[in-house]
Amino acid sequence: MLKEKIYNYINSEDYKGQTKEELAKTFGLSVGDYREFFRVLIDMEKEGLIYLSRKNKYLKLDNETIEGEIISKHNGYAFFKSDKLDSDVYINEKNLKGAMKGDKVSIVIIKDMSKNLNMEGKVVKLLSKERNFVGDIIRHGKKYFFESLDDSLDEDLYIKNENLNSAKNGDRVICELITRNKGQKANEARVVEILKEKNEEALEITSVARMYDMPYIFPEEVLQEANSFSDEVLEKDLKDRTDFSNLLTVTIDGEDAKDFDDAISIEKKEDYYRLYVHIADVSHYVKSGSALDREALSRGNSVYLLDRVIPMLPEKLSNGLSSLNPGKIRLTQSVQMDIDLDGNVLKYDFFESFIKSDYRLVYNDVSDYLENGKDVYKDNKLKEMLNFSNELYKILREKRIKNGALNFVSNEAKFTFDKEGRVIDVFRDIDRTANRIIEEFMIVTNITVAEHFGNMEIPFIYRIHDKPSDEKLYEIKPIFYSLGYQIKGNNLYSKDFQKILEASEGKPEEMIVSTLLLRSMAKARYENQRASHFGLALEYYTHFTSPIRRYADLYIHRIFKSFVKNRLYFDGIDNKLKSIEKICDHISFTERRADEAEREVEKLLKVILMEGKIGEVFEGVISSTTSFGLFVELENTVEGLISFNSMTDDFYIFDENQFLVYGQKNRKIYKIGQRVKVRLVNTNLNRREIDFEIVDGDEDE
């Protein structure tokens, strides 16, 4: 076979690199055979078997190929991101192979990182399927064009009248590319769907979901499989399970929650607490290799886009049979832990079990009872249980902080909507006592499971969080120095960051410090090899407690279940590790995609909310300084730019060493953490931008 012969020759020890013409001569081909030979070379390059160098010579892939995603694209060139690398990789336009922002690709590194320069790579294989794009129909004269909502495309695409499919000027549509030209500028498209929603908010959120290729419809075979289950747990399914249905058991979640995958029970002994954490046994219904399993793996996780959830599992399971609804017998996997008064787990046990939740509690109500003594509950046993939970959470939290765990100030935005689904307000969500109780109980459960299976050294999924890279530390050190905080050295521990968080507590810059430190952190990910979790200051960690919404947890449940049944074995450890590695790479990608989509939705809703507030004055804190202006964050988490162009009272200069801005004549200074008054002057929904201007203290508001 010609392809095999070419591959073996290019990968031979003596091969030095040849052009396509030189290769044809080496194989003794006549000119008439060149065309077919060149086609095979092109196919091999597309498949990632070989690659074409800058000198147009075909080479073997000496360097290991790295899978990841094109994360940005400007003026032809692009940047590539992978969980396997500490920094992004620059890719020249000619080395992109037509890849666009959002495409999953395989690359090789062709130039290592040098001073102030990124590594440079070359795309060897496009892994994404051909995808569609979201944008608007724009009419120019008699011609129609497609304007994409993201910057994946370098130009508007021409749409012939016969390819409009009833779309009109101004319609929000899904388009497919008819061509994907070598220069990455596909100049023609076809409308495949017109998007319509009840209001602007819903349309924009739908657009984001489609832009990120969220799988919003379950395949028929998946729904059929889910609907094949009974509405309630069958008696036969309770066989050989531990009965915890007589334990006082509760779920504690947000008011809007519909899927309940964790419940707790707690008893206080003389010198220790016995904590039970019950997790929905989703793996009982979602069998490995089934249609439900394949779809859950493909989705990777549920996605929460404020006005909707794109679930990992169909509603029959996520909100029904697997959800720990009050008064319903549900199958669970339970972890029982005896925890002493210093927060140490003295002993633990694992159970396949079933429970019947007694109460569906809400974070705010539980917090009102524990923080303010509000008379929310009448059941004395329930109140006693909540008091025990409050005591144990404080013990566990104190131990974690003592060990160096980082507790960032919450900067999460919470939105409220009217009956029509229009956004009417946004505010900073505050973690209250009940939220922290559940957080601590889930963390100690995840730690217990991770330590148990980690010590067994079997194929497993770990939650990894690397320490900040030297590059990130180099970026943030001068910013913190300008705020009066010092980061010494590069070999840092979580306790070093903890000291900064504690020092900033209660100060105007507290939120800024927390946010900057959080942004400097590496992105947590899934790995099949045991490694540390920097943010939690743990040797190793896993995700076990949310199998309804995370595939990692579902996979761990299968291992957990096998252990409980004394059937834990693995044929072909190496193959199992490779399989888990692929799963980890994929679910790390789907998690990152979900995070990006959720952030995008948050940005656009903030812009929509602020559209009606042009001219209003707000108080905020300078969150960053740049060469073109100041970013200010309001108390409600909305952030906007004050451009130097709007600061007309002087010529302002950015001091990049001290990260402050000063007026050339009046010497007025603006720095990170400083409180300012601003007026909203403009919003741009398509660009997700909000513009402010400074309001002087004596200006009439």
All structural domains of the chain: 2-59 (1.10.10.10), 66-126 (2.40.50.140), 132-196 (2.40.50.700), 220-466+522-602 (no CATH), 612-694 (2.40.50.140)
Q: Is residue 546 scored above 70 in pLDDT?
A: yes
- pLDDT for position 54: 61
- Could you identify the residue written with the tokens 């603006």? 670
Give the model confidence (pLDDT) of 355-409 as tens digits: 999 999 999 999 999 999 999 999 999 999 999 999 999 999 999 999 999 888 8
Phi, then psi, of 358 in degrees rounded to 5: -85, -35
Q: Residue 491 region, left (φ>0) first, then alpha (ψ -120 to 50), else beta? A: beta
- Based on its alpha-carbon atoms, the radius of gyration of the chain, rounded to whole angstroms, reads 28
Do residues 536 and 443 lie in contact, with contact meaning Cβ atoms separated by under 8 Å? yes
- pLDDT for position 45: 77
Give the model confidence (pLDDT) of 651-694 as tens digits: 999 988 888 899 998 889 999 889 999 999 999 998 899 999 99
Q: Is residue 471 scored above 80 in pLDDT?
A: no
Question: Per-residue b/e over 181-208, b at no fewer than 16 CB within 10 Å?
Answer: eeebebeebbbeeebeeeeebbebbbbb
Q: State percent of the chain over pLDDT 90.
A: 54
Who contacts 549 (Cβ-Cβ below 8 Å, separation ≥6)?
A: 259, 261, 301, 302, 311, 312, 318
How many whole angstroms separate alpha carbon 256 and alpha carbon 362? Answer: 9
CA 77 to chain centre: 25
How many whole angstroms separate alpha carbon 168 and alpha carbon 184? Answer: 27
User: Which is nearest to 483 in space by CA: 505, 513, 518?
Assistant: 513
| Strands annotated E in 143-233 | 143-148, 157-159, 172-177, 189-194
* DSSP three-state, residue 543: coil
User: Which is nearest to 68 in space by CA: 44, 99, 95, 92?
Assistant: 99
- Could you identify the residue written with the tokens 């002493």? 340
CB atoms within 10 A of CB 277: 25
H-type helices in 259-362, by residue range?
291-299, 315
- CA torsion 625-626-632-633 (nearest 10°) is -80
Q: Is residue 572 scored above 60 in pLDDT?
A: no
- pLDDT for position 455: 86
Residues 51-69 have a mean pLDDT of: 75
Q: What angle do CA 685, 688, 692 make, to 5 degrees?
A: 95
- CA torsion 23-24-26-28 (nearest 10°) is 170
Q: State percent of the chain over pLDDT 70.
A: 93
> DSSP class of residue 258?
-
How many whole angstroms separate alpha carbon 304 and alpha carbon 502? Answer: 31
- pLDDT for position 104: 84
H-type helices in 314-457, by residue range?
315, 363-372, 380-402, 433-456
- pLDDT for position 567: 64
Largest pairwise CA distance in the chain: 92
- pLDDT for position 154: 66
- pLDDT for position 294: 96
How many whole angstroms separate alpha carbon 612 and alpha carbon 609? Answer: 6
Q: Is residue 152 scored above 90 in pLDDT?
A: no
- Could you identify the residue written with the tokens 């952190």? 521
Taking the whole predicted model, whether its pTM rises above 0.85 is answered as no
- pLDDT for position 96: 83
pLDDT tier, 63 (very low <50, low <70, confident <90, very high otherwise): low
Q: How far is CA 603 from CA 147, 208, 410, 625, 685, in A?
A: 20, 11, 17, 20, 9
Of 349 and 62, the one with more pLDDT: 349
Residues 126-131 have a mean pLDDT of: 74
Q: Is residue 698 scored above 90 in pLDDT?
A: no
> DSSP class of residue 459?
S
Burial of residue 256 (CB within 10 Å: 0-12, 13-18, 19+) is: exposed
- pLDDT for position 473: 80
Q: Is residue 342 scored above 90 in pLDDT?
A: yes
| Strands annotated E in 505-555 | 525-527
Who contacts 536 (Cβ-Cβ below 8 Å, separation ≥6)?
A: 400, 405, 406, 443, 465
Do residues 120 and 91 lie in contact, with contact meaning Cβ atoms separated by under 8 Å? yes
SS3 assignment for 93-128: HHHCCCCCCCCEEEEEEEECCECCECEEEEEEEECC
Question: Per-residue b/e over 223-248, b at no fewer than 16 CB within 10 Å?
Answer: bebbeebeeebeeebeeebbebeebb
Q: What share of the chain is helix, strand, coil (3-state, %, to 5)?
A: 35, 30, 40
Q: Choose the weakest-confidence range: 33-42, 123-132, 346-355, 430-439.
A: 123-132
* DSSP three-state, residue 133: strand
How many whole angstroms separate alpha carbon 264 and alpha carbon 250? Answer: 6
- Could you identify the residue written with the tokens 């109460």? 359
Q: Is residue 479 scored above 90 in pLDDT?
A: no
Q: Is residue 75 scored above 50 in pLDDT?
A: yes
Do residues 80 and 92 lie in contact, with contact meaning Cβ atoms separated by under 8 Å? no
Do residues 400 and 344 lie in contact, with contact meaning Cβ atoms separated by under 8 Å? no
Residues 495-523 have a mean pLDDT of: 85
Q: For all residues of the chain together, what is the average pLDDT?
A: 88
- pLDDT for position 700: 46
How many whole angstroms separate alpha carbon 399 and alpha carbon 405? Answer: 9
Q: How far is CA 669 from CA 594, 632, 652, 672, 696, in A?
A: 39, 15, 9, 10, 13
Q: Choose the weakest-confidence range: 256-260, 326-330, 421-425, 569-573.
A: 569-573
- Could you identify the residue written with the tokens 């513009």? 691
Handedness of CA 561, 564, 570, 574 (dihedral sign): positive
pLDDT tier, 129 (very low <50, low <70, confident <90, very high otherwise): low
Give the model confidence (pLDDT) of 130-148 as tens digits: 678 899 999 999 899 999 8
- pLDDT for position 570: 56
Q: Is residue 431 scored above 90 in pLDDT?
A: no
Q: Is residue 2 scored above 60 in pLDDT?
A: yes
How many whole angstroms separate alpha carbon 546 and alpha carbon 281? Answer: 10
How many whole angstroms separate alpha carbon 239 and alpha carbon 473? Answer: 55
Residues 545-572 have a mean pLDDT of: 84
CB atoms within 10 A of CB 217: 8
Helix (H) or strand (E) holding 606: helix 573-611
List the structure tokens of 618. 């707000």
- pLDDT for position 184: 47
User: Which is nearest to 540 in space by CA: 459, 439, 453?
Assistant: 453
How many whole angstroms separate alpha carbon 11 and alpha carbon 364? Answer: 64
CA 372 to chain centre: 35
Q: How far is CA 140 from CA 149, 169, 251, in A?
A: 18, 9, 57
How many whole angstroms separate alpha carbon 243 and alpha carbon 330? Answer: 11
- pLDDT for position 180: 62
Of 555 and 184, the one with more pLDDT: 555
Q: Is residue 492 scored above 70 in pLDDT?
A: yes
Q: Choose the weakest-confidence range: 42-51, 106-115, 564-573.
A: 564-573
List the structure tokens of 675. 């409180």
Q: Is residue 566 scored above 80 in pLDDT?
A: no
Phi, then psi, of 33 in degrees rounded to 5: -95, -5
How many whole angstroms separate alpha carbon 353 and alpha carbon 244? Answer: 7
Give the model confidence (pLDDT) of 157-201 as tens digits: 889 999 999 999 999 999 988 876 554 454 789 999 999 998 999
Q: Which long-range contacts (CB under 8 A, 24 or more apart) does 550-554 make?
A: 550/300, 550/301, 550/302, 550/312, 550/587, 551/296, 551/297, 551/299, 551/300, 551/301, 551/312, 551/583, 551/587, 551/590, 552/461, 552/463, 552/526, 552/584, 552/587, 553/279, 554/282, 554/283, 554/286, 554/296
- pLDDT for position 467: 84
